[in-house]
Every structure is written in C-alpha cells, then in structure tokens.
Amino acid sequence: MTEKNAKKVINFQSLTEKVGRFDISGSQAMFLIPEMNRIGGHLLAATFRGFGIRSRVIGTYKGLDLGKEHTSGKECYPCQITTGDILYFLKKEKERLGKDFLPQNYIYFMPEAGGPCRFGMYNKYQRIVLDSFPEFRHVKIGSLTTSDGYSLDGLINPERVSGLRKAGYLSIVVTDVLERLLWRIRPYEIKPGITDEFIEKSMHIMEACFERYGAQQRFDKIIDRLESLIEEGKSLIKPDLPRKPLIGIVGEIYLRHHVHANQDLIRLLEHYGAEVVNASLAEWVNYTSYDRLREAKTAFRFSLKQMHLNSLKAHLKDILKYGGDLLYQQQKQKQVYKRAEKLIDIQPDHKVGHLEEILKENDIYSFDAGTEACLSISGIIQYAREGFNGVVNVYPFTCMPSTITSAIIKPLMNELRIPYLDTPYDGSFQPGREAAIRTFMYQAIQHFNRNGGKPSH
Ligand code: SF4
C-alpha cells in the first residue's frame, strides 16, 4: 500500500451523506458522467441537459496513473480507470478555475450493483479517495443501483421521473444501434476511416436530438433522425465486398465498451478479417429490470405460501413496477430495431427471458446466481445457435463473473467446435495478445469456410 493510501481514513458518515441519489433538479451542480461507452455517455448527458440538468461527460484514460496511485492493486481495473478519470478531471477543473473552483458544484455519477461482486464498492472506495483530498471533499457521488432497477426516484421532480427514465433508456438503445451500424459498415467501408468520421458526426447529431426532443418525449423525431443517418451510413459500404466471419463479444460491460481499456479489440479483430457484434448496453439494463421482476415474483410466491398478507401487497407493487419497466423497455427497443432493420441488416439484440430459457435448457448456470455470467454464458450459446464463427470474452483481469463464464463455457465451445477466446485486461500490454487474436481469427476463418463461407447474418 502506498503512503498516500495508508493515509486514507474511512468516514462512515461521508459514505452515506455524500454517496447516493441527490435531487439535481434546478441545481447549479454539474452532473459528471464517466466515459465508459463514448456514444452512450454523450447521449445520456444530452438527455439530462434536455431536462434542465447541467451535465457533461468527463474524459477518460488520461488519469490512469492517478487511478493506479490511489488504488492498492486489488480493485478491478474499471475502478482504477474511473478513479483516475474523476481525479484527473477535478484537478484540471481546479487548475482552470482557480479560486472559483467550488467542489459542491459537482456530482460525479457512479452507479453500483447490489452484488455479489465488487461493483457495489467502487463508489464507496472512490468516496474515501475523494475525502483524502481536502479540496474535493464536497464533491458528491450520485449513485443509481441495480437493487431497484436503476430507479431515478428522488433525482428530479416526481412528475418528470418517468419521462427521464424513458428518454434515458432510448438514448441507450440508440447508442446500441449506432454501434451496430459502425460494426456493420467499418469492415466494408469504401474509404479507410470514413466510418469512424461518420459515426462521430452521427453521435453529435443524436446528442442535439436528445437535448431538444428527449424531455418533450418526442421520440419519433429522434428515431426519424436515426433512420436518416442509417440511410446515409449504408452508402459507405462497398457493395461488392463479400461478408466476413462473424465474431460475437460477451463479457464485463465496462471493458467491452471502453475502447482504451480493451485496447481497441474490435478494430483489431476487424483488422484480421472479422465483422464483430458486441453485446449491447440495453441488454444489461433489461436484465436488471428482469431480475428485479423475477425476485419480486419469487418473494410474492413465498409470502403467499406463508400467508404473509402484509408483504403480499408490497411484492405485488414491485411486480407491477418492474414488469411495467421491462415491458416498456422491450417494446421500445423492438420498435427502434424494427425501423433500423428495415434499412440495414444489423444484428438484433438478445431478449433476456430467452437467455434465461437457454440456461434452463442446458442446465449449466442459473439466474439465481446472478451477475453478468447469466448474460455471457447464455449469450455465447445464442451466438453459436445464430451461426457466429467465433466468440471473445472480454473482461478485467480477475473479474469474478467473467471467470465463471470462461470456466463453464470453454468445454462447451470445444464440443461445438466454435473458436473461443478469453481476453483479460489490466492495463498492461501482453506480448502474446496479438498472436492469440490472429490465431483465433485463423480458426474463425476456418469455421467460416467449413460452413460454406456463408455469413450467418
Ligand atoms: S463485474 Fe468484474 S470487474 Fe466488475 S466489479 Fe465485478 S468482479 Fe469487478
């Protein structure tokens, strides 16, 4: 432990008073969103701004040294990255504003999961780190939790909560569609670099749309604009290029989406001849609603058996709440994909209920055990059924759910004779990484050729 870490003292009051859900409506405070997924962060910040909430994305990966300095090495890699990001941002902000820097004017957004892995502890740990800097003690940490399905209650006026949730969810689905568009076009682009430029421009256009129409709930305007971007994107595909082997990605959500942290894995796979599809952001959001609904149903059945009439009402309320959220989300997602798929053959998303069925059929894991392993294991099997030519599991070194995934899925993939690769990351550059990816792609191309060289798409 470094000398600085040794000096960190836990103030338990701070953990409850300065970490949680704070009312940000009409506040002068700036809501700081970490950049896990570049497009997703920007569209979410724009959505918040549309609701009158000052909000911005903080840059990422410039503060990694700071993150490493203020962690002990036992934390997950995303914790080191995000700790570095917020410290770097605040230090730069303080330099920029001098004596006008007011820490109470910032709320750093760091969600959490109810367990069982370490994600529930990131924001508490980061609270301790911020408290170790006298100048940052008054920066609050705004947190949403999977324990209540990322409820936004208490964040803004109650009558606007539902609207914010709907617009926020749409921003996630639009992010997924823009990314699927990127991965569909880039391996076949007419000119090197043109897809990246187009997607960057599209992100800014969609940001403006969310800021303008999100709070008014004029979602058709947003989807109309998305459609016109898809039309434009299609023209960037070289028409005579044959389709390439299709590679699916699963794993830990932060690493899958953070291109610096995963050393731009998708681009590297494309470089060696792949077309890639990453598991979506919406899948995780749907999973949290699905899992809360599942828990509420179990609790309801249990109370009924025990004749606990008082708790029955509360569980029924939860069933309606989470069931309603899930229904809305899945319908909205379906609507957006349907409109996108009319224009271009992007990969559809997995339905969480179907993923649970897959696990039950194979009896290899259970949603009762929870974590992203539920989605990764079933997602890999679904990719296999859809005819993907290979799957990559992307995760932070020592990540618990992804290690479980790897242990369970490897023998199955051997049996199915579908190439599979684990890619753990911890910030270091492993000398054999590129060779492993090339070998994996060689196997994927063989799988593709064995199946007649036909794309599964
Ligand atoms: S999912 Fe993995 S990386 Fe994330 S907190 Fe849990 S163990 Fe760490």
Give 288 Cα–ligand 1 centroid separation in angstroms: 16
Domain assignment of residue 11, given as a range: 3-153
Range 267-273 contact pairs with CB under 8 angstroms and sequence separation of 24 or more: 267/186, 268/434, 268/437, 269/392, 269/437, 269/441, 270/183, 270/186, 270/187, 272/437, 272/438, 272/441, 273/244, 273/245, 273/441, 273/444, 273/445
Residue 294 lies in a domain: no
Do both 144 and 13 map to the same domain? Answer: yes
Do both 398 and 254 map to the same domain? Answer: yes
Mean predicted lDDT score pLDDT of the chain: 94
Residue 455 lies in a domain: yes
The values of phi and psi at residue 427, to 5°, are 100, -15
Say yes or no to pLDDT of 423 above 80. yes
Residue nearest to atom 4 of ligand 1 (CA): 119
Of 145-154, 178-187, 196-205, 219-228, the poorest mean pLDDT is in 145-154
Give 401 Cα–ligand 1 centroid separation in angstroms: 7
Report the distance separating Cα 364 and Cα 318, nearest Å: 29
Q: Which atom of ligand 1 is nearest to the CA of 75?
A: 8
Residue 309 lies in a domain: no
Residue nearest to atom 2 of ligand 1 (CA): 399
Domain count, the chain: 2
Give 24 Cα–ligand 1 centroid separation in angstroms: 28
400, 423, 426: residue to mutate for ligand 1 pocket, most atoms within 8 A of CB = 400
Residue 148 lies in a domain: yes
Q: Helices 158-185 and 194-213 meet at what angle, rounded to 10?
A: 170
pLDDT band, very low/low/confident/very high, at 261 (cuts 50, 70, 90): very high
Burial class (CB in 10 A: 0-12, 13-18, 19+), 103: middle
Say yes or no to pLDDT of 6 above 70. no
Question: What pairing do the DSSP bridges indicate for beta strands 140-142 and 55-57?
Answer: unpaired
Say yes or no to pLDDT of 456 above 70. no
Which of 120, 153, 186 terminates a domain? The answer is 153
Question: What pairing do the DSSP bridges indicate for beta strands 275-278 and 420-425?
Answer: unpaired
The 8-class DSSP code of residue 57 comes to E
Do both 136 and 253 map to the same domain? Answer: no
Residue 162 lies in a domain: no
Report the distance separating Cα 173 and Cα 338, nearest Å: 12
Residue owning tokens 């060289």: 453
Which of 153, 183, 211 terminates a domain? The answer is 153
Residue nearest to atom 7 of ligand 1 (CA): 399
Do both 108 and 247 map to the same domain? Answer: no
Say yes or no to pLDDT of 385 above 60. yes
Cα-Cα-Cα-Cα dihedral sign, residues 223, 229, 232, 236: negative
**Residue 256, domain CATH:** 3.40.50
* pLDDT, position 77: 96
Q: Which atom of ligand 1 is nearest to the CA of 78?
A: 3
Q: Which atom of ligand 1 is nearest to the CA of 402?
A: 2
> In this structure, are residues 169 and 329 in contact, taking their beta carbons and an 8 Å threshold?
yes
Say yes or no to pLDDT of 457 above 80. no
pLDDT > 90: percent of the chain: 84
Dihedral over alpha carbons 185, 190, 194, 198 (to 10 degrees):
-50
Mean pLDDT: which of 106-120, 188-202, 360-374 is highest? 188-202
Of 145-159, 194-208, 402-416, the poorest mean pLDDT is in 145-159
Give 76 Cα–ligand 1 centroid separation in angstroms: 6
> In this structure, are residues 142 and 108 in contact, taking their beta carbons and an 8 Å threshold?
yes
Which of 153, 185, 213 terminates a domain? The answer is 153
For residues 58-66, give the mean pLDDT.
97
For residues 248-266, give the mean pLDDT.
97
* pLDDT, position 362: 85
* pLDDT, position 118: 80
For residues 100-117, give the mean pLDDT.
87
Do both 149 and 250 map to the same domain? Answer: no
Residue 457 lies in a domain: yes
Residue 161 lies in a domain: no
Say yes or no to pLDDT of 392 above 80. yes
| Model pLDDT for residues 331-344, shown as the tens digit of each residue | 999 999 999 999 99
Say yes or no to pLDDT of 27 above 90. no
| Model pLDDT for residues 74-83, shown as the tens digit of each residue | 899 999 999 9
Using a 6 Å CB cutoff, which residues line ligand 1? 76, 78, 117-119, 252, 372, 396, 399-401
Residue 421 lies in a domain: yes
The values of phi and psi at residue 213, to 5°, are -105, -15
pLDDT band, very low/low/confident/very high, at 1 (cuts 50, 70, 90): very low
Do both 8 and 109 map to the same domain? Answer: yes
pLDDT band, very low/low/confident/very high, at 455 (cuts 50, 70, 90): low
